[in-house]
Amino acid sequence: MIIIKFGGTSVQDEAAIGRVISIVKGRLREKPLVVVSALARVTRLLCTLAEEAEAQREDNVKDLLKQLRERHFNLAKNLLAARPDLLEECLAKVEERIADLETFVGGVCLIGELSSRSEARIISTGELLSSTIISYAFNAADISCHWIDARRMITTDDNYLNARPDMEVTEANIKRIVGLEYKGADLVLTQGFVAATPKGATSVLGFEGSDYSAAIFGMALGAERVEIWTDVDGIRSADPRVVHNTRKIDVISYEEAAEMAAMGARVLHPLTIEPARKKNIPIRVLNSTNQACEGTLVVRGDQAPDGPKSVAVKDEILFIKVTSPKLDGVTRMFGKVFGSLYPRRIPVVLAKATESEVYLVVPEERDTLQEALEEIGKWAEVTVYRDKALISVVGRNIVGFEGLGDKVISVSGKVYLANVSANMMSENFVIDSDRVQITLESLHDYIFNG
């Protein structure tokens, strides 16, 4: 069995879904489980819908629901025009889901309150709609497809918008349900991103969590491989939207891919790697608009070459310096700082400490961050630097590549923090945001174009 996941741009319209059907049709002998995202830009629309409902802007809510309905209805009509019987069924199910959403959003709009549980239910609708239409499109193409609700399989905690699966329960669910649903079908299809708590409340695996879903399915089913289909030719040496002349990475290790994701690369969800690595399942990142390209293969470290693989960036970070008047020691400094951050679920990308100082890179402002910093401020001086960015050079044995620090300093003008990651997979530099573009381009050219 293999897992095939298609992102939003790979299912964005009739032509894209036609390509999806062609790709899957060529892999039917491998018993695929297909995982799909919402149509491109739909999750963003649903996030806006949730915000407008909370703000009780009824006219905007109605307009967004109208856009959602029209886009999915038109897509279904285009895909199923030759099969009016299937079209009628599909439209009825799509309307049922949108009507349910309309009723639920109306309730949010009425009270003007949006909990994380309610938001998860709203934004998960995109995957339920797209997967419903795509399953009918497969059947219209004479490929027997059984649709499965991912909420029956992936069981998570109640951190609704960034939920973490109970892997033991989830694995048992997936094996049982997929095995049953595959009887009499050419393939089974489900949703990425979407899950549920033990009590049945909808949860989601964090934004862009469909990759994570695919890896979980692969782990549970002992898949031969996981294919992640996107709109780029595999993993690149930098974000091609930011840096010119990027290179495709042919082979990369699990650890390097995970480090890239953690440090800002936007190809794989940061948590995708671990389920695949656990059972040594290869991941191949491919381009649905360029099927001839072999993409990037993600494998064990001993199967990937050493050296720099990519330059990544995290924008809009906060660089925080905590200075104690006492020489507390590294262990105590870390303990006191994280004692305030951890209970409030504040993520830390990078941390470094001395006997009396701690330096932190935090990815974004959070409501509870100020509360944590005020608590830390009772025993230390806290300085927050805004308008900063984190640039990372990722690769196995990166410390053997000379001149990175000198190059960053010479171009960026000032480096607030330089650090080699604990796993020796990246060198990281905090610089001013307005120097990101020139620093990225110069550093990428220095590494990959010599």
Round to whole Å and give the CA distance between 194 and 36: 10
Kindly state whether residue 63 falls inside one of the protein's structural domains: yes
Contact 56, 109 (CB under 8 A): yes
Contact 94, 74 (CB under 8 A): no
Q: Give the domain range for residue 385.
A: 309-448
Contact 384, 320 (CB under 8 A): yes
- Helix-strand-coil percent breakdown of the chain, rounded to 5? 45, 20, 30
Tokens 């997979």, residue?
425
Q: Does the pLDDT value for residue 316 go beyond 90?
A: no
Q: In this structure, are 6 and 131 located in the same domain? A: yes
Round to whole Å and give the CA distance between 227 and 255: 18
Average pLDDT taken over every residue of the chain? 94
Contact 226, 297 (CB under 8 A): no
- What CATH number did the domain enclosing 82 receive? 3.40.1160.10
Q: In this structure, are 319 and 208 located in the same domain? A: no
Query: What was the pLDDT predicted at 178?
Result: 98
Q: Does the pLDDT value for residue 80 go beyond 90?
A: yes
Strands 283-287 and 226-230: parallel
Kindly state whether residue 246 falls inside one of the protein's structural domains: no
Q: In this structure, are 187 and 73 located in the same domain? A: yes
Domain count, the chain: 2
What is the mean pLDDT of the segment spanning 258-279?
85
CB atoms within 10 A of CB 352: 15
Domain boundary among 212, 231, 250: 231
Kindly state whether residue 274 falls inside one of the protein's structural domains: no
Q: In this structure, are 222 and 324 located in the same domain? A: no
- What CATH number did the domain enclosing 347 receive? 3.30.2130.10
Query: What was the pLDDT predicted at 149?
Result: 98
Domain boundary among 166, 197, 231: 231
pLDDT digits (tens, 9 = 90+) for 146-199: 999 999 999 999 999 999 999 999 999 999 999 999 999 999 999 999 999 999
Domain boundary among 181, 203, 231: 231
pLDDT digits (tens, 9 = 90+) for 383-440: 999 999 999 999 988 877 888 999 999 999 899 999 998 888 999 999 999 999 999 9
Q: Which pLDDT band, with edges at 50, 70 and 90, does 365 fall under?
A: confident
In DSSP terms, which residues pair with 311 in a beta bridge? 393
Percent of the chain with pLDDT over 70: 100
Q: In this structure, are 12 and 120 located in the same domain? A: yes
Q: Which helix (H) or strand (E) holds 385?
A: strand 381-396
* CA-based nearest residue to 287, from 229, 214, 210, 226: 229
Kindly state whether residue 290 falls inside one of the protein's structural domains: no
From first CA to last CA, the distance across the chain in angstroms is 42
Query: What was the pLDDT predicted at 240?
Result: 87
